[in-house]
Amino acid sequence: MKTLSLLLGAASAASLASAAFAEEITIATVNNNDMIIMQGLTDEFTKAHPDITVNWVTLEENVLRERVTTDIATQGGQYDVMTIGTLEVPIWASQGWLEPLEFDESYDVDDLMPAIRGALSVDGTLYAAPFYGESAMTMYRTDLLEAAGFEMPESPTWEFIGEAARAMTDRDADINGICLRGKAGWGENMAFITALANSYGARWFDENWQPQFDSPEWKAALQFYIDLMKDAGPAGASSNGFNENLTLFQQGKCGMW
């Protein structure tokens, strides 16, 4: 079974199988707020296609990645539409698991951000359509930072982030200096740790595809991450992903995120 992929995020895509043109379709998606917005569009779809029933399967990110990868690799056909990421799109398209997307004039393909469109294409052919895009940034509580005697520089170093996070931490008031993803998984802590490691000069492989995880740069990056989470992170951080950290930040329990 080949799948027609519709991307739902800079790191997330939805796939529409050929079976999706039946009377009932099943959509597997990640459990974040953006996908709740997508589910809110169901009524618009059913108005235009009253003969099709839409069923939603909402899963935690790691579970979703495992199940949809298994489903498409085994051609199980359990899901007709699935949200996947920019990691999967070029790999799956190259394997022949995805069909190229075709749009009518109402969808302005040229309006897609070049970086996102390129990540979702193979040899210039688009295999996924974005629903949202993601980038990395640091959010922080100005009041807590000022109270700790710090001022955020235009280009903070990780050393500054560590110092500020520890200074903002107040265990008695249930204030954590920083909330980072500790939950294992590519879409959870590994994407962040990779970026952190890159800034320390670490890399996964050398030019000959030899693993580089025993390098001093990797050791320094991981030690910084572990020490910071212990000193300034929330309790149970190893179970925290995007949704958990979002909740902590909204509750005022994080100095930085």
Please give the chain's pLDDT, 257 residues, in tens.
455 444 443 345 454 544 445 589 999 998 888 888 889 999 999 999 999 999 999 988 888 888 988 888 888 888 888 888 888 899 989 988 888 888 888 889 889 999 999 999 999 999 888 887 777 889 999 999 999 999 999 999 999 999 999 999 999 999 999 999 998 887 788 888 999 999 999 999 999 999 999 999 999 999 999 999 999 999 999 999 888 999 999 999 999 99
Q: If you count them, how many residues does the chain have? A: 257
Task: Indicate the number of domains in the chain.
Answer: 2
Same domain for 122 and 214? no
Identify whether 136 is part of a domain: no
What pLDDT shows up at residue 5?
Answer: 46
Domain boundary among 94, 126, 158: 126
The domain boundary, picked from 95, 126, 157, lies at 126
The answer to whether the beta carbons of residues 98 and 127 sit under 8 Å apart is yes
* 158-190: b (≥16 Cβ within 10 Å) or e: eeebbbbbbbbbeeeeebbbbbbbbbebebbbe
* Same structural domain, 218 and 244: yes
Q: Do residues 105 and 180 share a domain?
A: no
Helix (H) or strand (E) holding 112: none
Asked if 75 and 51 sit in the same domain, the reply is yes
The reply to whether 160 and 113 lie within a common domain is no
Residue 132 falls within a domain, yes or no?
no
Shared-domain flag, residues 151 and 116: no
Are residue 111 and residue 53 in the same domain, yes or no?
A: yes
CB–CB of 256/164 below 8 Å?
A: yes
The CA-CA-CA angle for residues 227, 233, 237, to 5°, reads 100
Residue 204 lies in a domain: yes
The verdict on residue 133 lying in a domain is no
135 found inside a domain: no
User: pTM for this one?
Assistant: 0.67
Indicate if 172 and 84 belong to the same structural domain: no
The DSSP string of 177-195 is EE----S-SIIIIIHHHHH
Domain span at residue 66 reads: 3-126
Residue 175 lies in a domain: yes
Residues 19, 81 share a domain: yes
- In this structure, what CATH number is given to the domain that contains residue 13? 3.40.190.10
> What pLDDT is recorded for position 222?
96
If asked whether residues 220 and 180 sit together in one domain, one would say yes
Q: 199 and 112: one domain?
A: no
In sequence order, what are the residues at sequence separation of 6 or more whose Cβ sits closer than 8 angstroms to the Cβ of residue 128?
5, 6, 7, 13, 14, 15, 84, 86, 89, 98, 101, 120
Are both 53 and 151 inside the same structural domain? no
